[in-house]
């Protein structure tokens, strides 16, 4: 093999991988969040799950990307482990489409495809059409790279060293290990299968030797999901175990079949003059057959994954922590599904934060009614927790806002969540202020009049009514926003009325001067709570 051949091989490999990435990115961008929404609304129907997994993977040309997305959805609670089983099975079928595309003999028009795609992407301003241009250009560049690799590897047929090495692939263990390691390194079974097809087209390797490498490539593709599951919850890790079990079981079955039956010869006979098609057909047969065999046992696979990786009580998080935002969101900034996962996680985290704030409001007003510091410690600790959540959620939101999003809606939602986070923290501050007044009352042995206690109860119930709208961070309809606006106006009117009542009580000396000062400060906090609640409602209305 000449130096020029080696350089052509490297150049062809570069073009092949770049074309595949360009095509994949174009497909992801063109489809946008539609793929994510299909998965989010997925039912427990196993056949629908398999079809959806296959369709998504056929579109984005990567079972690894689909599996990483599923790991993220399971980790965030958007999908159950048993739903994930069917998606993973379908993903293995969908990934075979790349091999079938490569097997098509359209190398002659590859330069034309590349030109048309690049021209479309460069000279047409419409973003959606540009995405389609990237798809076409990626497909053309992929085939050009394939031609380069195939031509460059032709001299390898005359290399005794290389031929001897390839001959060893006919040993099942060597072939499987080679395919696994190589695919794990480049983290794409589609790319590794394409390279194997290029070897076959150059005449260096035949299907009998390539078949075991092919099986190993299916195992190697699991490495991407395994890496993405680092730092996730146990259910997400179980998803990667299911993916690994699926491919290992399929490899064992097909290895035994190929060793004991003429399956390889049969598959080769379908397309005797097209070595790339032989590999593509075996790849498709492997994944479809394994899926059909394992579909009845999907639930058992999920149960087995739970047994392999059981829950550990010792792993429960203590102290201040984020419950829903986890490292999976940072694993792959541009992975498909990342925006949906981010939105879902932040929404859940904010709902959890709102629950803490609501509890603080309730206990703070109760404390001031009793004139006791009974709840001061719990409110103070919860206020520190809310401050922690505000800092961590805001930091996370700042990170994801700087990332390029395929979805047009996600930045709007995330921006709204950023405003909500700050307003929740301010409401908690005002609740803390109210609770601290109880300490001054206890130290100074102060108390409010009976009428003031009734008014405080009304403030409490009104604030809790406003907070009840934020149990989930679902978008607000115009009608719901109107209700919050009316409630905020009610709080303003109550504040004015209660200030007037306070002045009247002071005139007839029904309350002490010091208690009046505390009551006035509390009314200010009460009014501010209403203002921040309306801000939250307006933010939620922007994402409807």
- Could you report the per-residue pLDDT of 408-420, keeping only the tens digit for each? 556 788 889 999 9
Q: Considering only 35-39, 296-300, 435-439, which range has the smallest mean pLDDT?
A: 35-39
Is the predicted pLDDT of residue 8 greater than 80, yes or no? no
> Helix, strand or coil for residue 99?
helix
What residue ranges do the domains of the chain occupy? Answer: 3-313, 328-541
- The better pLDDT of the pair 410, 349 is held by 349
Task: Extract the tokens encoding 196.
Answer: 């194997």
Chain-wide mean pLDDT for the chain?
Answer: 81
**Most confident region among 140-144, 149-153, 202-206, 490-494 by mean pLDDT:** 490-494
pLDDT tens column, 161-186: 655 665 667 788 888 888 888 888 76
CATH class of 328-541: mainly alpha
Q: What phi, psi does 26 have (nearest 5°)? A: -65, -40
- The better pLDDT of the pair 251, 45 is held by 251
pLDDT of residue 410: 67
Task: Extract the tokens encoding 144.
Answer: 């050009």
Residues 6+ apart with CB under 8 A from 3: none
Prediction pTM value: 0.61
3-class DSSP string for 374-443 = CCHHHHHHHHHHHHHHHHHHHHHHHHHHCCCCCCCCHHHHHHHHHHHHHHHHHHHHHHHHHHHHHHHHHH
Q: How many CB atoms lie within 10 A of CB 529?
A: 27
Q: Are 242 and 206 in contact (CB under 8 A)?
A: no
**Most confident region among 21-25, 177-181, 537-541 by mean pLDDT:** 537-541
Q: How many CB atoms lie within 10 A of CB 126?
A: 10
Q: Confidence class of residue 248 from pLDDT cuts 50, 70 and 90?
A: very high
- The better pLDDT of the pair 200, 328 is held by 200
Q: What phi, psi does 62 have (nearest 5°)? A: -160, 110
């Amino acid at each position: 093999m000449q130096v020029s051949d080696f350089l052509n091989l490297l150049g062809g490999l570069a073009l092949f991988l770049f074309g595949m990435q360009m095509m994949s990115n174009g497909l992801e961008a063109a489809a946008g969040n539609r793929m994510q929404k299909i998965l989010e609304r997925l039912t427990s129907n196993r056949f629908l799950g398999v079809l959806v997994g296959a369709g998504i993977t056929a579109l984005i040309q990567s079972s690894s990307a689909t599996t990483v997305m599923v790991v993220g959805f399971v980790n965030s609670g958007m999908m159950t482990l048993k739903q994930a089983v069917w998606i993973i099975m379908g993903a293995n079928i969908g990934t075979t489409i790349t091999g079938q595309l490569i097997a098509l003999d359209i190398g002659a028009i590859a330069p034309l495809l590349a030109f048309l795609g690049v021209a479309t992407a460069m000279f047409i301003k419409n973003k959606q059409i540009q995405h389609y241009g990237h798809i076409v250009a990626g497909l053309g560049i992929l085939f050009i790279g394939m031609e380069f690799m195939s031509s460059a590897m032709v001299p390898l047929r005359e290399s005794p060293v290389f031929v001897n090495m390839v001959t060893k692939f006919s040993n099942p263990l060597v072939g499987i290990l080679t395919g696994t390691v190589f695919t794990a390194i480049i983290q794409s079974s589609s790319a590794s299968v394409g390279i194997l097809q290029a070897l076959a087209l150059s005449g260096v390797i035949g299907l009998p030797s390539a078949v075991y490498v092919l099986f190993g490539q299916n195992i190697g593709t699991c490495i991407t999901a395994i890496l993405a599951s680092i730092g996730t919850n146990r259910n997400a890790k179980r998803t990667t175990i299911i993916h690994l079990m699926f491919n290992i079981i399929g490899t064992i079955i097909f290895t035994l079949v190929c060793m004991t039956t003429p399956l390889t010869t049969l598959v080769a006979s379908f397309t005797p003059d097209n070595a790339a098609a032989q590999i593509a057909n075996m790849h498709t047969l492997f994944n479809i057959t394994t899926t059909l065999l394992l579909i009845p046992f999907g639930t058992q696979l999920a149960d087995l994954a739970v047994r392999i990786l059981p829950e550990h009580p010792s792993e429960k998080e203590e102290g201040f922590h984020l419950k829903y935002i986890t490292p999976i969101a940072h694993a792959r900034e541009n992975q498909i599904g990342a925006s949906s996962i981010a939105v879902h996680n932040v929404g859940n985290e904010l709902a959890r934060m709102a629950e803490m704030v609501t509890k603080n409001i309730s206990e703070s007003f109760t404390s001031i009614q009793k004139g006791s510091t009974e709840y001061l410690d719990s409110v103070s600790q919860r206020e520190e927790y809310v401050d922690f959540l505000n800092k961590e959620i805001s930091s996370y939101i700042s990170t994801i806002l700087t990332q390029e999003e395929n979805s047009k809606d996600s930045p709007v939602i995330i921006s709204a969540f950023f405003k909500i986070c700050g307003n929740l923290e301010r409401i908690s501050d005002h609740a803390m202020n109210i609770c601290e007044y109880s300490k001054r009352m206890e130290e100074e042995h102060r108390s409010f009049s009976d009428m003031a206690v009734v008014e405080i109860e009304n403030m409490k119930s009104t604030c809790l009514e406003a907070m009840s709208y934020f149990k989930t961070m679902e978008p607000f309809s115009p009608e719901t926003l109107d209700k919050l606006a009316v409630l905020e106006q009610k709080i303003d009117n109550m504040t004015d009325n209660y200030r007037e009542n306070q002045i009247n009580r002071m005139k007839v000396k029904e309350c002490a001067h010091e208690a009046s000062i505390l009551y006035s400060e509390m009314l200010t906090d009460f009014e501010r709570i209403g203002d921040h609640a309306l801000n939250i409602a307006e933010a939620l209305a922007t994402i409807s």
